[in-house]
Amino acid sequence: MEEKQYASLKIENIVASGSIADFIDLDIISNKIENCELNTKRFPGAVYRIETPKIASLIFSSGKVVLTGIRSPESLDVGLKIILDKMSEAGIECYNEPRVAITNMVCSYDIGNKINLNKVVMTLSLENIEYEPEQFPGLVYRIADPKIVALLFSSGKIILTGGKNMEDIKRGLQFLEQKLGSIM
């Protein structure tokens, strides 16, 4: 299968999660790491914001982390290194090989022309579609393989979520364009 160019395909957000240590003392990191906040009345973890690359990380005493706001897989690597370096400076022992992986990618895409959502509903298999224009202006299309959820808007804009890498996203987009090709 030829590699199609998706010029308007853009990563909007990447969420990654996993473990970086066996235990993290949240009081220590919130006191020693700048931009690391702890408010256990509101949230059971510490929130550490990095400016460059712009990433928000949720850090838990169990050693687990959730990173969000990431715009590229490379930024994830850079951000994770910054977090591990700051932990080390604060005296927290982390794994040499942190077990953190991308759990969700959200991408936007412009198909380049308008989509008749009513026609999509009438033509495609209904068990994969949710469309209630009174509730939400987009059509929700669940793709089984790869497991991607696509939000289609009549403007031609599409939001794809659920992928763990760009290959998943592009495969989902190819599947979608194939399905929409017969309609448009």
CATH of the domain at 163: 3.30.310.10
Identify the pLDDT of residue 4: 63
More confident residue, 60 or 184: 60
More confident residue, 4 or 107: 107
Q: What count of Cα atoms within 13 Å lies in the side-chain half-sphere of residue 36?
A: 21
Q: Is 45 helix (H, G, I), strand (E, B) or coil?
A: coil
Q: Tokens for 64?
A: 């687990």
- Residues with Cβ within 8 Å of 18's Cβ and at least 6 positions away in sequence, in order, are 64, 65, 98, 99, 100, 101
Identify the pLDDT of residue 7: 86
**Do 74 and 135 share a domain, yes or no?**
no
Question: Of 82, 102, 122, which residue is a domain's last?
Answer: 102
Which residue type does 2 have? E
Identify the pLDDT of residue 83: 97
Identify the pLDDT of residue 2: 43
pLDDT-based confidence at residue 48 (cuts at 50, 70, 90) = very high
The span from the CA of 129 to the CA of 117, in Å, is 11
Q: Tens of pLDDT along 59-109? A: 999 999 999 999 999 999 999 999 999 999 999 999 999 999 999 999 999
Query: What burial letters (b/e) apply to 148-172, b meaning 16+ CB within 10 Å?
Result: bbbbbbeeeebbbbbbbeeebbbbb
Question: Of 61, 77, 102, which residue is a domain's last?
Answer: 102
**Do 116 and 77 share a domain, yes or no?**
no
Q: Tokens for 81?
A: 């290194």
Closest residue by Cα to residue 162 from 140, 184, 130 = 140
pTM beyond 0.85: yes
Q: Tokens for 159?
A: 């939001």
With beta carbons less than 8 A apart as the criterion, state whether 11 and 72 touch: yes
Q: Tens of pLDDT along 118-169? A: 998 888 777 789 999 999 999 999 999 999 999 999 999 999 999 999 999 9
2 occurs within a structural domain: no
Chain centre distance of CA 122: 30
160 occurs within a structural domain: yes
Question: Of 37, 71, 102, which residue is a domain's last?
Answer: 102
Domain housing 64: 15-102
The span from the CA of 109 to the CA of 156, in Å, is 8
DSSP-derived letter for residue 22 is S
- The answer to whether residue 3 scores a pLDDT higher than 70 is no
